Chain A
Amino acid sequence: MIEVKNLSYFYEAEEGTPEKVLDNINLKIEDGEFVAVLGHNGSGKSTFAKHLNAILQPTDGYIYIDGVSTSNDEMLWNIRSKVGMVFQNPDNQIVASVVEEDVAFAPENLGVKPEEIRKRVDDALDAVDMTEYKNHSSHMLSGGQKQRVAIAGIIAMKPSIIVMDEPTAMLDPIGRREVMKTIEHLNSKYNITIILITHNMDEAVKAKRVVVIDSGKILIDNTPKNVFKNVDMLHKIGLDVPQVTMLAYKLRENGVNISDDILTVDECTQEIYNYVNKG
């Protein structure tokens, strides 16, 4: 479980006063949740993500991972093996030239026994559906495949939580789909807690909970349906809503009485169909 209590963080400035990036954040995330974190560039969401595995430590307040404070330097390794991080650029996260060696890198460094490493690597590649590429050269993979190998490398550490900082931003639609499928699979089948930082509203819709951060504060924390209802507010802080949500919103503005919490193409089709047939 992740518990964030009164978290504030200041970046040191070269001159003048330090800049406040996170401002008194309180949040509880239970085991097995799938949470999307939204916010425009500079809102503080990546800074927040980096706190979850103690890359950054709070200026004020605390973060507890399964009851252990990330400010406790003696427990850093423990925390980092529990909370895995996946970053934006797949090319920056691949260290070995063969896929399975790359996945084995983290458990090797944790001192896991060779037979156990073999098993973990096989399981991890299976979890991201990359088993058939295990002997391939890692630099010849597509972006989506590389990102899945990076995720496998994290899974091989057996984390209970994975934090992803815009993992699909540099991928094409096929790569995005592959990675999103993998993320959903890890959450539903392996019960791994997922924190997904994203700019893509269609991806955020797939989460079970959406947290919106603006100017270092939590603005909304609710289900996707209840978050994306707030079209005006999201626009005001530089965020978007899925195109079908926008369509429903504009139709409602024009007096078409359909639901205000539409998130998918199917829901939208059904609502318009019902409306037209009723009228």
Chain B
Amino acid sequence: MSIKVENVSFVYGKGTPFEKKAVDDISFCVKKGEFIGLIGHTGSGKSTLIQMLNGLIKPDSGKIFINGCDITADKVNLKEIRSKIGLVFQYPEYQLFEETVYKDIAYGPSNFNKSKEEIDSVINEVISLVGLDSSILEKSPFELSGGQKRRVAIAGVLAMSPDILILDEPTAGLDPAGRNDILACIKNLHEQKGMTVILVSHSMEDIANNVDKIMIVSDAKLVSFDYPSEIFKDSEMLKNIGLNVPQVTRVVNHLKQKGINLGNNIYTVEAAVDAILKYVKEES
């Protein structure tokens, strides 16, 4: 499923003293199966933007097309849109509410009138997709660890079989192992199910390691939408809008200033190791 956003704007509290432009004339296109990283600091408008993508917020102006269907039009069937676009909010584990993990995950599909058999099979599938054992299904979601709860919450969204998955800072507050588990799980969904993914994160390292393209939002505007190699070239621009380039990219940039040119597309540890080894070999 593709996403096409055309000149979308949104203002909070229009006509009040608290009027604030949250999204200002943003346009972009996401192709089916792409993995997009969305970065922007608090208050940049990125959360407003992703809520528009599944119709939770309607833009003041502009159009949004999901697979060619204009979801900003009047009388559009938003229920169908929302079953196709799964939105995982920040700290989604706060939204767990049922007695058992099974019932919690089943909540979405049962509201879409799925049969018991369909629900059973979908739950078995999603619980393993998020890397949990089915023995967890009869437990109360409140007995689980933080990382497990979050995976259950993500499973609840996956149970709607979305084609597009949008996650708002899914690793916030987790320890490094929990963070790696969640990222691996998202990567897996993207690769195996061909899901289109939009990942909102503050961590440049997380983004650089996983995504195809990066979208940067600052002060309600889309500042940049490009491949990581292009984005990380401009570390001054990133710094100015309060973002950091990954540590290894800074090392590579500093080395370049000192006359050691390792190349451009280096933003992961592995790429840096390869580039340095290659450089050393060529020099000697």
Contact = CB atoms under 8 A, between A and B. Distances in A.
Given A40-B176, A173-B244, A276 B283 contact: yes
B269 A40 contact: no
A272 interface: yes
B202 A254 contact: no
A104 to B, nearest CB: 27
24 contacts: A40-B175, A40-B176, A41-B147, A41-B178, A169-B173, A170-B173, A172-B242, A173-B202, A173-B242, A201-B176, A202-B247, A238-B175, A239-B177, A240-B176, A242-B247, A243-B247, A247-B272, A254-B277, A265-B247, A269-B251, A269-B258, A272-B255, A273-B258, A275-B280
Given A40-B176, A238-B177, 7 more contacts: A172-B42, A173-B202, A238-B176, A244-B248, A272-B260, A273-B258, A276-B283
Contact of A143 (B42, B145, B280, B283): B42
Interface of A: 40-42, 88, 142-143, 166, 169-175, 199, 201-202, 238-240, 242-244, 246-247, 250-251, 254, 256, 265-266, 268-269, 272-273, 275-276, 279
Nearest to A169: B173
A172 B173 contact: no
B205 interface: yes
A279 B254 CA distance: 19
A201 B176 CA distance: 9
Interface string B165-176: 000000011111
A256 B276 contact: yes
A242 B248 CA distance: 10
Interface residues of B, number: 37
Contact of B251 (A40, A169, A240, A244): A244
A42 B244 CA distance: 30
Contacts, number: 101
A20 to B, nearest CB: 17
Nearest to B178: A41
Interface in B172-210: 172-178, 202, 205
Contacts of A240: 176
Nearest to A43: B175
Nearest to A171: B42
B279 to A, nearest CB: 7
Interface of B: 41-43, 145-147, 172-178, 202, 205, 242-244, 246-248, 250-251, 254-255, 258, 260, 269-270, 272-273, 276-277, 279-280, 283-284
A244 B177 contact: no
Contact of A170 (B172, B205, B279, B280): B172
Main secondary structure on chain B at its contact with chain A?
helix
Closest 4 CB pairs of A and B: A238-B177, A240-B176, A243-B247, A269-B254
Given A246-B269, A279-B283, A41 B246 contact: no
Contacts of A247: 247-248, 251, 269, 272-273
Contacts of A171: 42
Nearest to A175: B42
Instruction: Report which residue of A172, A240, A256 has the largest number of chain B beta carbons within 10 angstroms of its beta carbon.
Output: A172
Contact of B273 (A170, A172, A199, A254): A254
B279 A276 contact: yes
Contact of A142 (B43, B248, B269, B277): B43
Contacts of A246: 269
B176 A199 contact: yes
Nearest to B284: A279
Contacts of B272: 247
A143 B41 CA distance: 11
A244 B146 CA distance: 28
B283 to A, nearest CB: 7
B176 A269 contact: no
A56 to B, nearest CB: 19
A240 B280 CA distance: 27
Nearest to A239: B176
